[in-house]
Amino acid sequence: MYGKFQKHLQDELAAIKEAGLYKNERNIASPQSAEITLEDGSKALNFCANNYLGLADNPRLIAAAEKAMKARGYGMSSVRFICGTQDIHKQLEKAISDFFKTEDTILYASCFDANGGVFEPLLTAEDAIISDSLNHASIIDGVRLCKAVRYRYANANMEELENCLKEAQAQRFRIICTDGVFSMDGNVAPMDKICALAEKYDALVMVDESHSAGVVGKTGHGVAEQFNCYGKIDIFTGTLGKAFGGAVGGFTTGRKEIIDMLRQRSRPYLFSNSIPPMIAAAAIEMFKMLSESNALHDKQQENVVYFRDKMMAAGFDIKPTQSAICAVMLYDAPLSQKFAAKMAEEGIFVTGFYYPVVPKGQARIRVQLSAAHEKAHLDKAIAAFIKVGKELGVIK
Ligand SMILES: *Cc1c(COP(=O)(O)O)cnc(C)c1O
Protein backbone atom coordinates (compact mmCIF):
# COMPACT_ATOMS: atom_id res chain seq x y z
CA MET A 1 0.00 0.00 0.00
CA TYR A 2 2.79 2.41 0.90
CA GLY A 3 4.44 2.08 -2.54
CA LYS A 4 2.28 4.55 -4.46
CA PHE A 5 2.13 7.01 -1.59
CA GLN A 6 5.92 6.74 -1.09
CA LYS A 7 6.47 7.61 -4.75
CA HIS A 8 4.12 10.57 -4.37
CA LEU A 9 6.05 11.87 -1.35
CA GLN A 10 9.42 11.30 -3.04
CA ASP A 11 8.27 13.36 -6.03
CA GLU A 12 6.93 16.15 -3.82
CA LEU A 13 10.14 16.25 -1.78
CA ALA A 14 12.22 16.35 -4.96
CA ALA A 15 10.09 19.28 -6.19
CA ILE A 16 10.64 21.14 -2.91
CA LYS A 17 14.41 20.60 -3.28
CA GLU A 18 14.34 21.66 -6.92
CA ALA A 19 12.59 24.91 -5.97
CA GLY A 20 15.32 25.55 -3.40
CA LEU A 21 12.75 25.47 -0.60
CA TYR A 22 13.98 22.37 1.24
CA LYS A 23 14.70 23.14 4.88
CA ASN A 24 17.89 21.69 6.33
CA GLU A 25 18.47 21.85 10.05
CA ARG A 26 21.64 22.84 11.84
CA ASN A 27 22.57 20.54 14.69
CA ILE A 28 23.77 22.66 17.57
CA ALA A 29 25.82 20.89 20.25
CA SER A 30 25.95 23.72 22.81
CA PRO A 31 23.41 25.85 24.65
CA GLN A 32 21.56 28.41 22.54
CA SER A 33 23.56 31.63 22.77
CA ALA A 34 25.35 34.34 20.79
CA GLU A 35 28.22 31.89 20.19
CA ILE A 36 27.19 28.34 19.37
CA THR A 37 29.06 25.11 18.67
CA LEU A 38 27.81 22.74 16.01
CA GLU A 39 27.84 18.96 16.03
CA ASP A 40 31.03 18.90 13.92
CA GLY A 41 32.81 21.10 16.50
CA SER A 42 32.76 24.25 14.37
CA LYS A 43 31.70 27.50 16.01
CA ALA A 44 29.44 30.27 14.77
CA LEU A 45 27.88 33.53 15.88
CA ASN A 46 24.13 33.24 15.96
CA PHE A 47 22.12 36.11 14.50
CA CYS A 48 18.97 34.15 13.72
CA ALA A 49 17.57 33.12 17.11
CA ASN A 50 14.56 34.70 18.85
CA ASN A 51 16.72 34.83 21.99
CA TYR A 52 16.16 38.60 22.20
CA LEU A 53 17.13 39.11 25.83
CA GLY A 54 19.82 36.43 25.76
CA LEU A 55 18.06 34.40 28.46
CA ALA A 56 18.15 30.99 26.76
CA ASP A 57 21.25 29.96 28.75
CA ASN A 58 20.81 32.29 31.73
CA PRO A 59 22.29 30.72 34.92
CA ARG A 60 19.59 32.16 37.18
CA LEU A 61 16.83 30.62 35.06
CA ILE A 62 18.64 27.29 34.87
CA ALA A 63 19.01 27.27 38.67
CA ALA A 64 15.31 28.09 39.12
CA ALA A 65 14.38 25.28 36.72
CA GLU A 66 16.63 22.76 38.52
CA LYS A 67 15.27 23.73 41.92
CA ALA A 68 11.66 23.41 40.73
CA MET A 69 12.30 20.06 39.10
CA LYS A 70 13.60 18.71 42.42
CA ALA A 71 10.74 20.23 44.42
CA ARG A 72 7.82 19.72 42.02
CA GLY A 73 8.93 16.89 39.75
CA TYR A 74 9.60 16.51 36.06
CA GLY A 75 6.16 16.59 34.46
CA MET A 76 2.47 17.03 35.22
CA SER A 77 1.02 14.06 33.31
CA SER A 78 -2.27 15.89 33.05
CA VAL A 79 -4.15 18.71 31.50
CA ARG A 80 -4.71 21.71 33.74
CA PHE A 81 -8.35 21.15 34.69
CA ILE A 82 -8.00 17.51 35.76
CA CYS A 83 -4.89 17.48 37.97
CA GLY A 84 -2.29 19.51 36.06
CA THR A 85 -2.29 22.75 38.03
CA GLN A 86 0.35 23.47 40.67
CA ASP A 87 0.70 26.60 42.76
CA ILE A 88 3.49 27.73 40.44
CA HIS A 89 1.25 27.59 37.34
CA LYS A 90 -1.09 30.04 39.06
CA GLN A 91 1.86 32.18 40.19
CA LEU A 92 3.14 32.36 36.62
CA GLU A 93 -0.29 33.38 35.34
CA LYS A 94 -0.30 36.15 37.93
CA ALA A 95 3.21 37.26 36.91
CA ILE A 96 2.12 37.49 33.25
CA SER A 97 -1.00 39.49 34.18
CA ASP A 98 1.19 41.86 36.21
CA PHE A 99 3.65 42.27 33.33
CA PHE A 100 0.95 43.14 30.80
CA LYS A 101 -1.29 44.94 33.35
CA THR A 102 -4.22 42.67 32.53
CA GLU A 103 -6.88 40.98 34.66
CA ASP A 104 -6.13 37.31 34.13
CA THR A 105 -3.97 34.87 32.16
CA ILE A 106 -4.26 31.32 30.84
CA LEU A 107 -1.19 29.22 29.99
CA TYR A 108 -0.78 26.99 26.95
CA ALA A 109 1.93 24.62 25.77
CA SER A 110 2.83 27.18 23.11
CA CYS A 111 1.67 30.43 21.56
CA PHE A 112 0.72 28.38 18.53
CA ASP A 113 -1.82 26.71 20.83
CA ALA A 114 -2.87 30.00 22.41
CA ASN A 115 -3.71 31.39 18.97
CA GLY A 116 -5.28 28.12 17.88
CA GLY A 117 -7.56 28.17 20.89
CA VAL A 118 -8.55 31.81 21.21
CA PHE A 119 -11.15 32.47 18.50
CA GLU A 120 -13.37 29.41 18.36
CA PRO A 121 -14.52 29.54 22.02
CA LEU A 122 -15.39 33.25 21.84
CA LEU A 123 -16.94 33.87 18.42
CA THR A 124 -19.55 32.27 16.16
CA ALA A 125 -20.78 32.56 12.56
CA GLU A 126 -22.60 35.73 13.61
CA ASP A 127 -19.29 37.51 14.32
CA ALA A 128 -16.34 38.92 12.36
CA ILE A 129 -12.56 38.50 12.59
CA ILE A 130 -10.52 41.23 10.91
CA SER A 131 -6.94 40.09 10.41
CA ASP A 132 -3.70 41.73 9.23
CA SER A 133 -2.44 40.02 6.05
CA LEU A 134 0.99 39.40 7.60
CA ASN A 135 -0.27 37.75 10.78
CA HIS A 136 1.54 34.65 12.01
CA ALA A 137 0.53 31.21 10.71
CA SER A 138 -0.92 30.27 14.11
CA ILE A 139 -3.37 33.20 14.00
CA ILE A 140 -4.37 32.16 10.49
CA ASP A 141 -4.95 28.60 11.69
CA GLY A 142 -6.87 29.80 14.74
CA VAL A 143 -9.13 31.89 12.53
CA ARG A 144 -9.72 28.85 10.29
CA LEU A 145 -10.99 26.86 13.27
CA CYS A 146 -13.64 29.49 14.00
CA LYS A 147 -16.85 30.01 12.03
CA ALA A 148 -16.75 33.82 12.20
CA VAL A 149 -16.83 35.82 8.95
CA ARG A 150 -13.27 36.71 7.88
CA TYR A 151 -11.89 40.02 6.72
CA ARG A 152 -8.28 40.76 5.82
CA TYR A 153 -6.40 44.05 5.46
CA ALA A 154 -2.98 44.74 3.93
CA ASN A 155 -0.16 44.89 6.49
CA ALA A 156 -0.72 47.78 8.92
CA ASN A 157 -2.92 49.55 6.34
CA MET A 158 -5.38 51.59 8.39
CA GLU A 159 -7.51 52.64 5.42
CA GLU A 160 -8.16 49.03 4.53
CA LEU A 161 -8.79 48.19 8.17
CA GLU A 162 -11.37 50.95 8.36
CA ASN A 163 -13.12 49.62 5.26
CA CYS A 164 -13.21 46.12 6.79
CA LEU A 165 -14.67 47.58 9.98
CA LYS A 166 -17.40 49.37 8.02
CA GLU A 167 -18.35 46.16 6.22
CA ALA A 168 -18.19 44.15 9.41
CA GLN A 169 -20.91 46.29 10.99
CA ALA A 170 -23.13 43.59 9.46
CA GLN A 171 -21.88 41.15 12.11
CA ARG A 172 -22.75 40.96 15.83
CA PHE A 173 -19.25 41.30 17.35
CA ARG A 174 -15.99 42.26 15.60
CA ILE A 175 -12.39 41.58 16.59
CA ILE A 176 -9.27 43.09 15.04
CA CYS A 177 -6.26 40.80 15.35
CA THR A 178 -2.64 41.66 14.65
CA ASP A 179 0.92 40.67 15.40
CA GLY A 180 2.65 43.23 17.63
CA VAL A 181 5.87 43.04 15.59
CA PHE A 182 5.85 41.53 12.10
CA SER A 183 8.68 39.06 11.83
CA MET A 184 9.87 39.78 8.29
CA ASP A 185 10.15 43.59 8.35
CA GLY A 186 10.47 44.19 12.09
CA ASN A 187 7.76 46.88 11.97
CA VAL A 188 5.43 47.40 14.91
CA ALA A 189 1.65 47.35 14.43
CA PRO A 190 0.24 50.91 14.84
CA MET A 191 -1.71 50.04 17.98
CA ASP A 192 -2.74 53.64 18.73
CA LYS A 193 -4.53 53.86 15.38
CA ILE A 194 -5.90 50.32 15.62
CA CYS A 195 -7.36 51.02 19.07
CA ALA A 196 -8.87 54.31 17.88
CA LEU A 197 -10.56 52.56 14.96
CA ALA A 198 -11.73 49.78 17.27
CA GLU A 199 -13.38 52.36 19.47
CA LYS A 200 -14.97 54.16 16.54
CA TYR A 201 -16.36 50.96 14.99
CA ASP A 202 -17.12 49.02 18.16
CA ALA A 203 -14.57 46.23 17.80
CA LEU A 204 -12.46 44.16 20.18
CA VAL A 205 -8.65 44.16 19.81
CA MET A 206 -6.33 41.16 19.99
CA VAL A 207 -2.54 41.39 19.63
CA ASP A 208 0.08 38.65 19.45
CA GLU A 209 3.11 39.87 21.41
CA SER A 210 5.44 37.00 20.47
CA HIS A 211 8.08 39.20 18.78
CA SER A 212 7.25 42.41 20.66
CA ALA A 213 7.07 41.50 24.37
CA GLY A 214 10.41 42.02 26.08
CA VAL A 215 11.58 44.18 23.17
CA VAL A 216 9.09 46.91 22.24
CA GLY A 217 8.20 49.79 24.59
CA LYS A 218 10.38 51.94 26.81
CA THR A 219 10.95 49.09 29.27
CA GLY A 220 10.13 46.20 26.94
CA HIS A 221 6.57 45.72 28.13
CA GLY A 222 5.25 45.44 24.60
CA VAL A 223 2.90 47.38 22.36
CA ALA A 224 0.56 48.64 25.11
CA GLU A 225 3.53 50.38 26.70
CA GLN A 226 4.88 51.67 23.38
CA PHE A 227 1.58 53.26 22.35
CA ASN A 228 0.22 53.87 25.83
CA CYS A 229 -2.93 51.91 25.03
CA TYR A 230 -3.38 50.09 28.32
CA GLY A 231 -7.01 49.17 28.86
CA LYS A 232 -7.77 49.29 25.14
CA ILE A 233 -6.44 45.90 24.11
CA ASP A 234 -8.80 43.09 25.11
CA ILE A 235 -6.61 40.08 24.38
CA PHE A 236 -2.85 39.57 24.26
CA THR A 237 -1.26 36.30 23.24
CA GLY A 238 2.44 35.57 23.61
CA THR A 239 5.20 33.01 23.93
CA LEU A 240 7.74 32.03 26.56
CA GLY A 241 9.86 30.76 23.66
CA LYS A 242 11.39 34.02 22.44
CA ALA A 243 12.49 36.99 24.61
CA PHE A 244 10.96 35.41 27.74
CA GLY A 245 13.61 32.72 28.22
CA GLY A 246 13.34 30.83 24.97
CA ALA A 247 12.15 27.50 26.41
CA VAL A 248 8.56 26.70 25.54
CA GLY A 249 5.07 27.75 26.55
CA GLY A 250 2.44 30.26 25.54
CA PHE A 251 -0.28 32.35 27.10
CA THR A 252 -3.36 34.43 26.51
CA THR A 253 -3.85 37.36 28.85
CA GLY A 254 -6.56 39.99 29.03
CA ARG A 255 -10.07 40.61 30.27
CA LYS A 256 -11.21 38.33 33.06
CA GLU A 257 -14.38 36.94 31.46
CA ILE A 258 -12.53 36.20 28.23
CA ILE A 259 -9.87 34.20 30.08
CA ASP A 260 -12.53 32.45 32.15
CA MET A 261 -14.36 31.40 28.97
CA LEU A 262 -11.10 30.10 27.45
CA ARG A 263 -10.53 27.94 30.55
CA GLN A 264 -13.97 26.42 29.96
CA ARG A 265 -13.86 25.96 26.19
CA SER A 266 -10.41 26.41 24.63
CA ARG A 267 -9.51 23.06 23.13
CA PRO A 268 -5.66 23.25 23.23
CA TYR A 269 -6.03 24.09 26.95
CA LEU A 270 -8.57 21.39 27.72
CA PHE A 271 -6.96 18.61 25.71
CA SER A 272 -3.19 19.19 25.90
CA ASN A 273 -0.69 18.74 28.73
CA SER A 274 0.31 21.36 31.31
CA ILE A 275 3.70 22.99 30.97
CA PRO A 276 6.26 21.24 33.21
CA PRO A 277 7.04 22.69 36.68
CA MET A 278 10.60 23.69 35.74
CA ILE A 279 9.32 25.92 32.94
CA ALA A 280 6.69 27.52 35.19
CA ALA A 281 9.24 28.24 37.93
CA ALA A 282 11.95 29.51 35.57
CA ALA A 283 9.43 31.79 33.86
CA ILE A 284 8.38 33.24 37.24
CA GLU A 285 12.07 33.90 37.95
CA MET A 286 12.43 35.48 34.50
CA PHE A 287 9.61 37.98 35.16
CA LYS A 288 11.21 38.74 38.53
CA MET A 289 14.52 39.44 36.79
CA LEU A 290 12.89 41.75 34.26
CA SER A 291 11.15 43.67 37.05
CA GLU A 292 14.46 44.18 38.89
CA SER A 293 16.40 45.68 36.00
CA ASN A 294 15.91 46.96 32.50
CA ALA A 295 19.55 46.37 31.58
CA LEU A 296 18.96 43.47 29.16
CA HIS A 297 16.27 45.36 27.30
CA ASP A 298 18.47 48.46 27.07
CA LYS A 299 21.43 46.45 25.81
CA GLN A 300 19.27 44.76 23.21
CA GLN A 301 18.04 48.13 21.93
CA GLU A 302 21.57 49.57 21.87
CA ASN A 303 22.70 46.59 19.82
CA VAL A 304 19.96 47.16 17.24
CA VAL A 305 20.89 50.84 16.85
CA TYR A 306 24.63 50.08 16.68
CA PHE A 307 24.20 47.35 14.07
CA ARG A 308 21.71 49.30 11.95
CA ASP A 309 23.79 52.49 11.89
CA LYS A 310 27.03 50.70 10.97
CA MET A 311 25.29 48.69 8.25
CA MET A 312 23.69 51.79 6.75
CA ALA A 313 27.00 53.63 6.87
CA ALA A 314 28.52 50.70 4.93
CA GLY A 315 25.92 51.24 2.22
CA PHE A 316 23.41 48.50 2.98
CA ASP A 317 19.71 49.02 2.43
CA ILE A 318 18.07 48.40 5.82
CA LYS A 319 14.31 48.40 6.46
CA PRO A 320 13.32 50.85 9.17
CA THR A 321 13.09 48.71 12.30
CA GLN A 322 11.43 49.33 15.65
CA SER A 323 12.18 45.91 17.05
CA ALA A 324 14.97 43.33 17.38
CA ILE A 325 14.60 42.40 13.72
CA CYS A 326 16.79 44.04 11.10
CA ALA A 327 16.01 43.28 7.44
CA VAL A 328 18.96 43.77 5.08
CA MET A 329 17.30 44.18 1.68
CA LEU A 330 18.83 42.37 -1.33
CA TYR A 331 15.62 42.05 -3.43
CA ASP A 332 16.96 39.12 -5.50
CA ALA A 333 16.02 35.61 -4.28
CA PRO A 334 19.09 33.59 -5.41
CA LEU A 335 21.33 36.40 -4.13
CA SER A 336 19.73 36.15 -0.67
CA GLN A 337 20.55 32.44 -0.51
CA LYS A 338 24.10 32.91 -1.78
CA PHE A 339 24.62 35.75 0.69
CA ALA A 340 23.41 33.73 3.69
CA ALA A 341 25.59 30.76 2.64
CA LYS A 342 28.69 32.96 2.37
CA MET A 343 27.92 34.50 5.76
CA ALA A 344 27.79 30.99 7.23
CA GLU A 345 31.24 30.34 5.74
CA GLU A 346 32.37 33.43 7.67
CA GLY A 347 30.92 31.90 10.83
CA ILE A 348 27.84 34.13 10.97
CA PHE A 349 24.37 32.60 10.99
CA VAL A 350 21.69 34.76 9.39
CA THR A 351 18.68 33.75 7.32
CA GLY A 352 17.90 34.62 3.70
CA PHE A 353 14.16 34.95 3.01
CA TYR A 354 12.45 35.20 -0.35
CA TYR A 355 9.07 34.58 -1.98
CA PRO A 356 6.64 33.19 -0.75
CA VAL A 357 7.82 34.08 2.79
CA VAL A 358 8.20 37.73 1.70
CA PRO A 359 6.67 39.41 -1.40
CA LYS A 360 8.23 38.73 -4.85
CA GLY A 361 11.29 40.92 -5.46
CA GLN A 362 11.66 41.64 -1.73
CA ALA A 363 14.30 39.01 -0.83
CA ARG A 364 16.39 39.88 2.19
CA ILE A 365 18.66 38.74 4.97
CA ARG A 366 16.99 38.85 8.35
CA VAL A 367 19.24 39.63 11.29
CA GLN A 368 17.99 39.24 14.85
CA LEU A 369 19.81 41.24 17.49
CA SER A 370 20.00 40.09 21.08
CA ALA A 371 21.20 41.27 24.47
CA ALA A 372 23.46 38.20 24.28
CA HIS A 373 25.54 39.92 21.57
CA GLU A 374 28.62 41.82 22.67
CA LYS A 375 30.10 44.66 20.59
CA ALA A 376 32.82 42.28 19.35
CA HIS A 377 30.12 39.92 18.00
CA LEU A 378 28.36 42.78 16.23
CA ASP A 379 31.63 44.07 14.76
CA LYS A 380 32.49 40.60 13.46
CA ALA A 381 29.07 40.25 11.85
CA ILE A 382 29.26 43.73 10.28
CA ALA A 383 32.76 43.00 8.91
CA ALA A 384 31.47 39.76 7.38
CA PHE A 385 28.50 41.59 5.84
CA ILE A 386 30.86 44.13 4.29
CA LYS A 387 33.22 41.45 2.96
CA VAL A 388 30.41 39.35 1.45
CA GLY A 389 28.53 42.46 0.29
CA LYS A 390 31.57 43.59 -1.70
CA GLU A 391 32.23 40.10 -3.09
CA LEU A 392 28.67 39.85 -4.35
CA GLY A 393 28.48 43.43 -5.60
CA VAL A 394 25.77 44.48 -3.12
CA ILE A 395 27.87 47.38 -1.82
CA LYS A 396 30.88 49.21 -3.26
C1 LIG B 1 6.82 32.46 17.31
C2 LIG B 1 5.44 32.93 17.18
C3 LIG B 1 4.35 32.14 17.59
C4 LIG B 1 4.54 30.73 18.07
O5 LIG B 1 5.03 30.70 19.38
P6 LIG B 1 5.36 29.27 20.03
O7 LIG B 1 5.23 29.51 21.49
O8 LIG B 1 6.73 28.91 19.58
O9 LIG B 1 4.33 28.32 19.52
C10 LIG B 1 3.09 32.68 17.52
N11 LIG B 1 2.88 33.92 17.03
C12 LIG B 1 3.88 34.70 16.60
C13 LIG B 1 3.60 36.08 16.08
C14 LIG B 1 5.19 34.22 16.65
O15 LIG B 1 6.19 34.99 16.20
Give the model confidence (pLDDT) of 234-260 as tens digits.
999 999 999 999 999 999 999 999 999
Domains of the chain: which residue ranges?
Answer: 19-48+294-391, 59-292
Low-confidence ranges of the chain (pLDDT < 50): none
CB 340 within 8 A of CB 384: no
Look up 183 and say whether it is catalytic. yes
Dist. CA 113 → ligand 1 center (Å): 9
**Which of 106, 131, 135, 239 most suits a substitution to test ligand 1, by most atoms within 8 Å of the C-beta?**
239
* Spacing, Cα 325 to ligand 1 middle (Å): 15
Ligand 1 atom nearest to 181, measured from its CA: 13
CATH superfamily of 19-48+294-391: Aspartate Aminotransferase, domain 1 (3.90.1150.10)
CA nearest to 111, candidates 204, 209, 185, 205: 209
Closest ligand 1 atom, CA of 242?
Answer: 1
Compute, in angstroms, the gap from residue 148 CA to the centroid of ligand 1: 22
Q: Measure 275 CA to ligand 1 centroid, in angstroms.
A: 16
pLDDT one-digit tens code per residue, 315-339: 999 999 999 999 999 999 999 999 9
Closest C-alpha among 348, 354, 351 to residue 385: 348
Angle between helices 295-313 and 277-292 (to 10 degrees): 80
The CATH number that domain 59-292 falls under is 3.40.640.10
The answer to whether residue 338 is catalytic is: no
Taking alpha carbons only, the member of 133, 135, 171, 139 closest to residue 152 is 133
Q: What is the pLDDT of residue 21?
A: 79
Q: Is 209 in the pocket of ligand 1 (CB under 6 A)?
A: no
Percent helix, percent strand, percent coil in the chain, to nearest 5:
45, 15, 40
pLDDT given at position 22: 85
User: Running DSSP on this structure, what letter comes out for residue 364?
Assistant: E
pLDDT score of 20: 77
The reply to whether ligand 1 has any atom less than 6 angstroms from the CB of 211 is: yes
Pocket mutation for ligand 1, best pick of 138, 187, 325, 366 (most atoms within 8 Å of C-beta): 138
